[in-house]
Amino acid sequence: MSENNTTQDVAAMQKENCIFCKIIDGEIPSKKIFEDELCLATLDINPASEGHIILLPKEHYHIMPLVPDETISHLFNIAQKLSLTLLRGLSMQGTTTFIANGAAAGQKAPHFMIHIIPRLENDGLFKIPKNHISKEDLLISQKKIKGRINLLFGLKEKSENQKKIDENNDVQKTKIKETDSEKTNDELNELNNLINDKEEKNELNKEKKPNIENENKEEKKNANLDDIANLFG
């Protein structure tokens, strides 16, 4: 049996035992909100708040990277409309759109889904922690992620020389913000060495860093989604 067949067999077995596939097929009843050829939205039976919707692709996909581009685009389009519906229909003040992608992220069932959760001010749901991260570590993360995303989209990688020039510029900008004192090349070299050291250490130690990607979003949480909803007429 080829490796490909084994993978397909595992997927078929998962689908066989998947309660969300049974909901989609109508074998298990649910409180349907919306359905089309690609997706189904239903109320969550264990809601985080009133009106909590789960949006499922009709095909069985375990995790987000397995969902085809066309389907993921469609799902987010529908998620946007469902979010607007919650704001209007339940007079909510906001929505959190949430995906648990993989077991480490808290994914319980092997069927990809998008949660659309109605929010009220001070409802106490989803406090995103703020973790401290140094500016040097931010630069390292930026470099690693940018490299990967460029590869994924087939964008041309910069030459090594250009990378060093950009890196120095980034470090210089960071340090100018920190202090008004005169900068020297020695300082920049020292910082670059520190970045290289940390990068080597990170390569050896693959442990995940604290998740800080949403740190800045916390600051913007007071944006009035009702105003945004009004744009849709």
Q: Name the residues that contact Zn ion, by CB under 5 A.
A: 18, 20-21, 60, 111
How many C-beta neighbours within 10 Å does residue 112 have? 25
Nearer to Zn ion, 40 or 140 (CB): 40
Least separation in angstroms between residue 44's CB and Zn ion is 16
Least separation in angstroms between residue 67's CB and Zn ion is 12
| Residue nearest Zn ion, CB atom distance | 18
Nearer to Zn ion, 20 or 114 (CB): 20
The rounded distance, in Å, linking the Cα atoms of 86 and 115 is 12
- The answer to whether 154 and 135 have CB atoms below 8 angstroms apart is no
Least separation in angstroms between residue 8's CB and Zn ion is 15
Would you call 40 exposed, middle or buried from its count of C-beta atoms within 10 A (0-12, 13-18, 19+)?
A: buried
CA-based nearest residue to 99, from 148, 49, 65: 65
Nearer to Zn ion, 87 or 113 (CB): 113
Nearer to Zn ion, 111 or 119 (CB): 111
Least separation in angstroms between residue 12's CB and Zn ion is 11
